[in-house]
Amino acid sequence: MATLPIKNKIRELRFFAEEMTQQELAELVGVTRQTIMAIEKCKYSPTLEVAFKIAEVFGQSIDEVFQYQSV
C-alpha cells in the first residue's frame, strides 16, 4: 500500500455531530463500520461517491472533510 496523500477530519466531525459512532455514520452513508474505520484511519481512500455521502452527512463539502496534499 502506497502512502496516502489524503487526510480527513471524519473523527472530529463525528464527535462534533453529537458524538456519532462509526456504526451510525456507516448506516447513514450506506457502508459497513469497517469501511468507515479504514477511511478514518487512512488505510485507503474512499471512492468519490462514498466521499460525497460522508460530506453530505456532516453538511460539509468534500474539500472540508478531506485534505489532499499534492506531492
Partner DNA sequence: ACCTGGTGTACAAAATTATTAACATTGAGT
Partner DNA sequence: ACTCAATGTTAATAATTTTGTACACCAGGT
Ramachandran class of 11: left when φ > 0, alpha when ψ lies in -120 to 50, beta otherwise? alpha
The reply on whether position 31 binds a copy of itself by CB under 8 A is no
Asked if 39 and 10 count as a contact pair (C-beta separation under 8 A), the reply is yes
Cα atoms in the Cβ-side hemisphere of radius 13 Å centred on 24:
12
The reply on whether position 44 binds DNA by CB under 7 A is yes
The reply on whether position 61 binds a copy of itself by CB under 8 A is yes
Q: Which residues of this chain interact with DNA, rule CB under 7 A?
A: 1-2, 14, 21-23, 30-35, 37-41, 44-47, 49-50
Q: Which residues of this chain interact with a copy of itself, rule CB under 8 A?
A: 1, 5-6, 45-49, 51-53, 56, 61-63, 66, 68, 70
